[in-house]
Structure 1
Amino acid sequence: MKTMAMSIKFTVTLTIFLLIGVGLAGLFMQPHVSYDAWNINKSSFPANASSEEKLTFLLSYAILAPSSHNSQPWKFNVSGNQIDIYADKSRWLQYADADKRELHISLGCALENLLVAAEHFGYETNVTYLNEGDLVARIRLEQKSLTAQVPAQAPAQAPAQDSRLIDAIVARKTNRNAYLDRPVAEADLQKLQDSAKGFSKDQGIQFYLTSDPEIRNKFRNLEIVADQTLYADANYKAELGHWLGQGVMGPTGVQALATQLAVVFLDVGPEETRKDAELVNSTPVLGFISTAENDSISQVKVGQAFERFWLEATALGISLQPMSQILEVPETKAELTEILSTGIGGLGYSGYLQHIFRLGYAEPVEDHSPRRAISEVLI
């Protein structure tokens, strides 16, 4: 009885604390988030502006890339006909992403969006991958003559048949819902595989897609262990809570701050673990990406290949969600690598495991995730 009374007293005290904290935070610390970046329109390309203005417009598509915790860990420098992409280490997830794998993949996604936009607006590009401090890639861009393609008064953009991928950049959303009990058509899976073939052939990146129930069950069990491990880590919870409180991962304003306090101070692990297990159970296709080398440049290229794959999936009406928890815990990462290497499901797996995602059909997601303005990411 005494224990129950103490438990009730603690719950009441904590509830009051959370309510007061939310109220004060809402008054004094509510972060500003914006969805304006998603309102980009191809017809707004500044065809008659300076080179730097046109390249800055291309970055409007780069910043729509996905990133872990929607941390958006990128900075850009535009000079003449060149764009440099930098890692913004202030947005590095030091506990969830200790080896910076997810940071580099996020930067690769932004790079691929930039290249898709550049191709659409008639640019030839040359990418140099770098590992010089925070500088990860240098892109030189030369705009091809479009006088034979479009009238002089028209916006300088590529032919209409090339618009599906750039349109997919704006349409892309992360769908964290349960997926429908509907298999993904083999023809569509082949199209998705084909979208990443250039990376697979030339850069040692391999995609593995599987509907094998044995792999799914083993994956679900590891997902449970990974979630339990992560939510038992106070540093991980504080880091996750920070990004939730910024309003960049779903709820905004006071609701975001309430979610932050709940994650940090309450035991939300069991419920989140249950939800993730149910998501895996509903998944028709699991995807894994490996590399021949385990370095930052390979991870940036994984991000490129993954984003190209995701854009193709978006164009096909297929939903996708990255699932990185297993890779954030060394023990579950090693166990999953061992499972995939045994030949279950006939995957023919090899290399270093870099990224995981789930794929399928789902009820549409209404909202995008907020984005920083271009002015905030230029240096």
Structure 2
Amino acid sequence: MENQTKNLTRRKLLKSSLKVTGGIAVAVSGGLVYRAVEEDMFSPFDGPAYQPWKSWKTDPLSFPLVTVQMAILAANPHNTQPWLFKVHQDSIEIFADRRRHLGSFDPFRREMQIGLGCAIENMTLAAKAHGYDSQVEVIQGALAEHPITEGIDKIATVSFTQGIAENTSLYQAIAHRHTDRNPYDVTKSIPDDMIQAFATECQAHACRLDIFEHGKARQSIDLLMNKATQAIVQDEEMVMDSTRWLRTTDKAIQTHRDGPTLDGAGLSPMIRVLAKIFPDPTPLEGHRIWATATKESHLATAAAIGLISIRHRYSKAENLTVGRLWQRLHLMATVAGLSMHPMNQPVEWVDRQKQLGQANSAEQHLSLLAGGAAWQTTFAFRMGYPTVPAVPSPRKPVKESLI
């Protein structure tokens, strides 16, 4: 009884502190969450769910399995990890796991395709570090308007030939690249040579890059980002499809080893502790807080917003290329001490309006910002200098990613 009284008193005290701080805002790409969890979750990044970030170095696999060991650390939408690999002696086939989809958040599996491209880029960097050149053969065609939700879908084959080992800075950055949802340093802008390096990389991948730092163009992209976020929050199906991936207890993290978590949500230390003590909000409440964080934290502190555009938004091959490009850009930023954070709400809104057969106002806004009708935006992000270190997300082990 005495322990119960102490716990009750502590809860009242923390609840009072919560009111002072203005609420627990947990900002994740695609959703928000509050949480009261078990005490063992107060030690973040522990347990098997986080071992893949270390095991590539402490327990490296033989070639070509080592390329999969690095592939599973790639960026991917909402940490769904939608990949499967079939390993041969001198090649690896990459498949999309159709079950690991975002539903109405990604109705054409465009973001899934981008995430698979990120994994492929890590594979080629790992192969080069181990003395092998890579040739990537991708499956052509258009993304399906009514994708199948079960089984697997072959995406590409990566073949390896003996080459010269090159342990690049991008390869070394793979285990240090993390999405940073924290506020960024508002006193620092992006160096011109970094923006030029990004632009050169995009040109090499036959993609268009638009960077918005200030002025009317920046105001326009911020306005579109906020409108898209509000539209998502008002869409009950999108809210529920986002919520099902959130992992807010240590048990859920260690069981699923995927999805966004509280520790990676960009919270201050005190708010993160409070978030782990109190229960989750409703999905709608959580997403409303995410919308507020988008406006008041993510956009307000971003040094720049970027848009990556391609010729055909629903091309399998072009989105795979964008994934490879985004992985390289994020690794380049990591090497340079910059933070990156995908903010794909405007393109997710385009997809959703297309799926529902609505007048595509989001498409019209993006077209004005990114090259007109000749280009179609497929990826949006923010960047800036970090205020605190970005943290890892849970990952499934290699063995669960193999066919």
Q: Which position in structure 1 is the counterpart of 2:293?
A: 275
Q: Which has the larger radius of gyration?
A: 1
Identity of aligned residues (%): 27
Q: Secondary structure at the match of 1:244?
A: coil
Structure 1 spans left out of the alignment, 5+ residues: 1-18, 27-31, 47-52, 147-157, 342-346
Amino acid across the alignment from 2:179:
T
Alignment of 1:253-272 (within 5 A): 261-264=280-283, 266-272=284-290
Aligned match for 1:310, one of 330, 334, 339: 330
Alignment of 1:162-177 (within 5 A): 162-177=167-182
Q: Deviations over 1:347-366 (max 9, x none)?
A: 78941111001111121335
Do the aligned partners of residues 259 and 164 (structure 1) sit closer, same or farther apart at CA in structure 2, a change above 3 Å counting?
farther
Q: Distance in 2 between matches of 1:307 and 1:141?
A: 20
Q: Which position in structure 2 is the counterpart of 1:36?
A: 51
Q: Which position in structure 1 is the counterpart of 2:363?
A: 334
Structure 1 residue 251, shift from structure 2 partner: 2.8
Is 1:183 the counterpart of 2:189? The answer is yes
Q: Distance in 2 between matches of 1:110 and 1:256?
A: 32
Do the aligned partners of residues 74 and 257 (structure 1) sit closer, same or farther apart at CA in structure 2, a change above 3 Å counting?
farther
Q: Deviations over 1:2-41 (max 9, x none)?
A: xxxxxxxxxxxxxxxxx9x989xx9xxxxx9600000044
**8 Å CA contact retained: 2:180, 2:391:** no
**8 Å CA contact retained: 2:56, 2:66:** no
Q: Which position in structure 1 is the counterpart of 2:219?
A: 217
Say which structure is richer in helix: 1
Amino acid across the alignment from 1:232:
Q
Q: Which position in structure 2 is the counterpart of 1:298?
A: 318
Q: Which position in structure 2 is the counterpart of 1:11?
A: none
Structure 2 spans left out of the alignment, 5+ residues: 1-33, 42-46, 142-151, 254-258, 264-273, 351-359
What is the RMSD of the two structures over their aligned residues, measured on CA atoms? Answer: 2.9
Q: Deviations over 1:145-185 (max 9, x none)?
A: x6xxxxxxxxxxx35xx331111111101111122121111
Q: Distance in 1 between matches of 2:276 and 2:213?
A: 38
Q: Secondary structure at the match of 2:104?
A: coil
Q: Secondary structure at the match of 2:367?
A: helix
Q: Deviations over 1:217-248 (max 9, x none)?
A: 22222222222221222222222211103543
Q: Distance in 2 between matches of 1:299 and 1:327?
A: 13
Q: Distance in 2 between matches of 1:263 and 1:304?
A: 36
**8 Å CA contact retained: 2:180, 2:390:** no
**8 Å CA contact retained: 1:67, 1:103:** yes
Q: Which position in structure 2 is the counterpart of 1:377?
A: 401
Do the aligned partners of residues 33 and 259 (structure 1) sit closer, same or farther apart at CA in structure 2, a change above 3 Å counting?
farther
Q: Distance in 1 between matches of 2:130 and 2:156?
A: 20
The TM-score, its normalising length taken from structure 2, stands at 0.73
Q: Deviations over 1:259-300 (max 9, x none)?
A: 995242x52343221210121122111111111233111101
Q: Secondary structure at the match of 1:138?
A: strand
Q: Distance in 2 between matches of 1:258 and 1:214?
A: 42
Do the aligned partners of residues 84 and 210 (structure 1) sit closer, same or farther apart at CA in structure 2, a change above 3 Å counting?
same
Q: Which position in structure 1 is the counterpart of 2:339?
A: 319
Q: Distance in 2 between matches of 1:171 and 1:269?
A: 28
Equivalent pairs counted in the alignment come to: 322
Q: Distance in 2 between matches of 1:43 and 1:323?
A: 33
Q: Distance in 2 between matches of 1:335 and 1:256?
A: 38
Q: Which position in structure 2 is the counterpart of 1:142?
A: 161
Q: Where in structure 1 do 4 or more consecutive aligned residues deviate above 3 Å?
A: 40-46, 255-261, 347-350
Structure 1 residue 108, shift from structure 2 partner: 0.4
Amino acid across the alignment from 1:36:
Q
Structure 1 residue 367, shift from structure 2 partner: 2.0
Q: Which position in structure 2 is the counterpart of 1:13?
A: none
Q: Secondary structure at the match of 2:392?
A: coil
